[in-house]
Amino acid sequence: MVAGLRARWRRRCRVGDGELANWDGGFPEIVEIGGERWVLKDDGPREVLGARLGWGRVNVAAADLMPHGSRPRALVRLAENYRLRDLPIRNLDEAAAAELAFSLWTRRRDTHAFNRAYVDGIPMFFDHSAAFVPEDSVDHFARDGPDNGYVPRWRVEVWGEAATTLALRDRNRVTESAVHAISEPAVFAKHLERWVAELASIPTDWIRATVASCGFEVDDAERVAAMLTRSQGELPRAVELARTALAMPVAASA
């Protein structure tokens, strides 16, 4: 059934197939509900938590739990269906900084370009499948590994033209790095510091309630909430580890 919906959707969709392809050439499962197109993903609680922690703050794609089904899956709204005015952050340097700060907080290791799409040159992100690992220490999170999403492969690059989904994915492939387009390194660095402070100040009660709303088993919810609170305190260390990878300038003091 899903394959049929996907084929129908592809015929009607203005987004080229290439923009929906994953790094390995595979395509996500797509469903259409009430005129809205969504990606269907396993591990619903993780995807929904990423969306609920971020939405309204950073440019993360909205997600919700599947209304039916034996195991919780998630519906993730396609980034290409957003307009610029829907996004909370409409500045390239700030959007990139906020995605990276959010990824450091939630231990979302996979910030590569196949987990991101650009709306009028501004990035949105999705895919929290490599985030929220309760037992992950900050140093283990920052380890190197075999794919482009590991922290030592995060990069920022000054992008001279409007950033596009496919151009960033090409760059990701060529450099084998999770490249983020920015326009002004010093401005980006300031936004990163500011977003780290902003995310570190999110109240524990709100984090716990948000985690509890995402369909985790009770024990898992407690472990994930504890991890998020601990990770807020570890953000300065995480930024230092990422700063080396990003070859990022230290923000000039205001």
Ligand X SMILES: Nc1ncnc2c1ncn2[C@@H]1O[C@H](COP(=O)(O)OP(=O)(O)O)[C@@H](O)[C@H]1O
In the bound complex, what is the minimum distance in angstroms from residue 111's beta carbon to ligand X? 11
Per CB under 6 A, 99 contacts ligand X: no
Binder among 53, 78, 92, 214 for ligand X (CB under 6 A): 78
Per CB under 5 A, 99 contacts Mg ion: no
Out of Mg ion, ligand X, none, which partner does residue 76 contact, by CB within 5 to 8 A per kind? Answer: ligand X
Judged by beta carbon, residue 52 or residue 169, the one nearer Mg ion is 169
Q: Which residues contact 216 (CB under 8 A, 6 or more apart)?
A: 45, 49, 224
Closest CA relative to residue 61, chosen from 28, 14, 93: 28
Give the amino acid at 109.
Answer: R
- Alpha-carbon distances of 154 from 103, 131, 144, 145, rounded to whole Å: 11, 15, 10, 12
Per CB under 6 A, 125 contacts ligand X: no
Q: Please spell the DSSP secondary structure of 45-83, one letter per residue.
A: HHHHHHHHHHBTTB-BPPEEE-SS-SS--EEEE-GGG--
Region binding Mg ion by CB under 5 A among candidate stretches 8-16, 37-45, 108-116, 200-208: 108-116
Contact between residue 151 and residue 180 where contact means Cβ atoms under 8 Å apart: no
Per CB under 6 A, 126 contacts ligand X: yes
In the bound complex, what is the minimum distance in angstroms from residue 125's beta carbon to Mg ion? 10
Return the residue matching tokens 């509900």: 33
The residues of the shown chain that bind Mg ion, judged by CB under 5 A, are 115, 127
The residues of the shown chain that bind ligand X, judged by CB under 6 A, are 20-22, 28, 39, 41, 61, 76-80, 114-115, 117, 126-127, 129
